[in-house]
Chains A and B, each alone.
Chain A
Amino acid sequence: MRNFLKLTNFEFNRISKLLFSLMGFVLLIQLIGVFFEVWMYNNRIDSLMTENQMTEAQALNQVGELSFAMVMYSMFFLGPIFISVGAMLFYIFLIWYREWFGKNTFIYRLLMLPTERINIFFSKLVTIVVATLTLVGFQFLALLIENSIFNALVSDPFLSEMNVVNLISQDPLISMIFPHSLDGILLVYGFGAVIVGVLFTAILLERSYRIKGIAAAILYAIVVSALLASPFAVNELLLNGYMYPGEILFTFAVMALLVLMVSIVISRKLLNDKIRV
């Protein structure tokens, strides 16, 4: 356990640079988005007032109030999120492959540590999950900050003040990142962790058997997909929709846990007996 914590701390230090860069990037671009949308809006109002000789009320009437939704559903807001998701997906592979490639082959040291090798797997998995949750938490904080800056920038008659939580729940994509219930959080991020575990197993299959391992990894991914889809498929095809949505989700969660356990067992075996430096 102590070694697992040490390894996790070590892995977290290694990801921290990327993590802080992503946070800075997200906040910066989204703040630019806030200022840009407000600036664009003010420009439109101004030009209507100067060029079309409108009063403030007429201009407001024509353009409508400005709400934070304009910022939140813009690429300034979503772009950095997509890039962060992409970076984390890339890191799932990098966290393993960098041990083999590059000037120094750190995998030798890792595999020769006097600890269960599966701890390497767990430390990397926990690092990815914690880093992701850190990013999500930061994004929520950033959202609140951006919203209050926005509210301060837009003067009263033009501002349509909106609740951030409502805005989140209105967008299917954003509401997936911030589920509104604890169950939702567990489902989304628990499932995410299971997928990361499956990808790790696929990577270890490749690292153990190289080209043949890629075939095995693809096969494994297909089997896992079938297992995870089975609750939905059984309900639709065999039971004609007999199960309640809650029951299906529960079965799905059980399947996901099963998949995670299988991944751990396979990865443990690979790390102990099959892995190659």
Chain B
Amino acid sequence: MIEVNDVVKKFGRKEVLKGISFTANKGEITCLIGINGVGKTTILNAIMKLTPINSGEILVDGKKVTKSTFEKITFIPDSTIMLPGFTINEAMDFMNDYYEVWNQERANEFLKFFRLNPEDKISTLSKGNTAKTNLLLGLSLDVDYVLMDEPFSGIDMFSREQIAEVFTTHLIEDRGVIITTHEINDIEHLIDKAVLLDEGEIYKEFNTEEIREEEGKSVVDVMREVYRG
């Protein structure tokens, strides 16, 4: 389980996270929802120790994040984080060099599934293929948790469909996923838990299945209530 406990984050005087708490379980897809600039990316960065927090605590399986945590959790940001001069092959070699949990068979599955050419240079890829390569490099690690920042933003419809499809396959199942998005439509039917954020605070945290059964509401219905009502 990933536990985010009362996390406060300030940029200068501005408080971007005002004591955020939520949990994300293994085997579930947790979605952080909110408009741009509410601190979704900051939360993911904080979990990976890519930005310091002012107070609060973040635990992965009950432990603070250390170097060994990075064999358990992976982060797929919305930009490319590999050297642009690398080919996809070289990027995979790089991952294999450093991560014990790198799974080349799975990487090959992704190559096939996304129809990527491993000889292509990362700098020459289209936006959609860049996103797919990011996903390949992140999800081919046999980790328990995956953090994804806006995997659908700015890419074409068919790429989005393909990426959404990944969520329903064995390539994702059993893992704990935290995904951020401001456009819920692509994955509404996939997510188990929704965390609604606004201005650095959590408005509502709910189980999508329960709210559908008990109140007959979709995620979008709840969002409408929260953000417009």
Q: CB within 8 Å of B: which residues of A?
A: 3, 6, 10, 102-109, 111-117, 208, 272-277
A111 and B122 form a contact (CB under 8 A): no
Q: Which of B48-56, B160-168, B177-185, B216-224 contacts A (4 or more CB under 8 A)?
A: B48-56
A106 and B81 form a contact (CB under 8 A): yes
Contact partner, A108, options B67, B68, B77, B100, Cβ 8 Å: B77
B83 at the interface (CB under 8 A from A): yes
Count of B residues near A, CB < 8 Å? 27
> 1/0 contact trace for B62-102 toward A, CB 8 Å?
00000111110011010111111000000000100111100
Given A276-B52, A277-B45, also A109-B67 (CB < 8 A): no
| Complex CA distance for A145 and B89, rounded to whole angstroms | 41
Q: List 11 A-B contacts (CB under 8 A).
A: A3-B98, A105-B77, A108-B77, A112-B50, A112-B70, A113-B98, A114-B69, A114-B70, A115-B67, A115-B98, A277-B51
Residues of A within 8 A of B70 (CB): 112-114
Residues of B within 8 A of A6 (CB): 97-98
A104 and B81 form a contact (CB under 8 A): yes
Which residue of chain A is the closest to B91 with respect to CB atoms? Answer: A109
Residues of A within 8 A of B71 (CB): 114
Contact partner, B81, options A10, A105, A273, A274, Cβ 8 Å: A105
B123 at the interface (CB under 8 A from A): yes
| Complex CA distance for A117 and B84, rounded to whole angstroms | 22
Which residue of chain A is the closest to B70 with respect to CB atoms? Answer: A114
User: 10 closest A-B pairs (Cβ-Cβ)?
Assistant: A108-B81, A114-B70, A277-B50, A104-B80, A109-B81, A114-B71, A104-B84, A276-B51, A113-B98, A274-B52
- Of B69, B70, B81, most A-chain CB atoms within 10 Å: B81
Q: CB within 8 Å of A: which residues of B?
A: 45, 48-52, 67-71, 74-75, 77, 79-84, 94, 97-100, 122-123
Contact partner, A103, options B52, B84, B94, Cβ 8 Å: B84
Residues of A within 8 A of B68 (CB): 114
Whole-angstrom distance between the Cβ of A231 and the nearest chain B Cβ: 37
Residues of B within 8 A of A208 (CB): 52
Residues of B within 8 A of A277 (CB): 45, 50-51
Which residue of chain A is the closest to B130 with respect to CB atoms? Answer: A104
B52 and A273 form a contact (CB under 8 A): yes
